[in-house]
Amino acid sequence: MKLSTQLADAALKALLYEVDVQPKPGLVDPVDHSTHLDMDVFTFIDSAVSLRPYLEEFAQAGIDFHGENLTDLFKSIRPIGIEAEKAMFAATGDINTHKGAIFSLGILLAAGGYDQDHIRLTTEKMLRGLTEHDFKDLDKKIHLTNGERMYLQYGITGIRGEAEKGYPVVFEKSLPYLRAHFGNDFGTVLLDTLMVIVSESYDSNVVKRGNLESLENVQKYAENILEVGGCSHPEGREILEDMNSYCNENNLSLGGSADLLIITIFLFLI
Report pLDDT for 37: 83
Q: Report the distance separating Cα 161 and Cα 47, nearest Å.
A: 25
Give the type of residue at 120.
Answer: R
DSSP-derived secondary structure letter, 174: I
Report pLDDT for 152: 82
Report pLDDT for 4: 98
Are residues 200 and 169 in contact, defined by beta-carbon separation less than 8 angstroms?
yes
Are residues 108 and 123 in contact, defined by beta-carbon separation less than 8 angstroms?
yes
DSSP-derived secondary structure letter, 29: B
Q: What angle do CA 20, 178, 78 make, to 5 degrees?
A: 70
- Taking the whole predicted model, whether its pTM rises above 0.85 is answered as yes
Domains recognised in the chain with CATH numbers: 3-128+146-269 (1.10.4200.10)
Report pLDDT for 33: 82
Q: Could you list the mean pLDDT of each consecutive 10-residue stretch along the chain, which spans 270 residues?
A: 97 98 94 84 97 98 96 98 98 96 98 98 96 81 80 84 95 98 96 98 91 96 98 96 96 96 99
Q: Give residue 158's region: left, alpha or beta (phi > 0; psi -120 to 50).
A: left
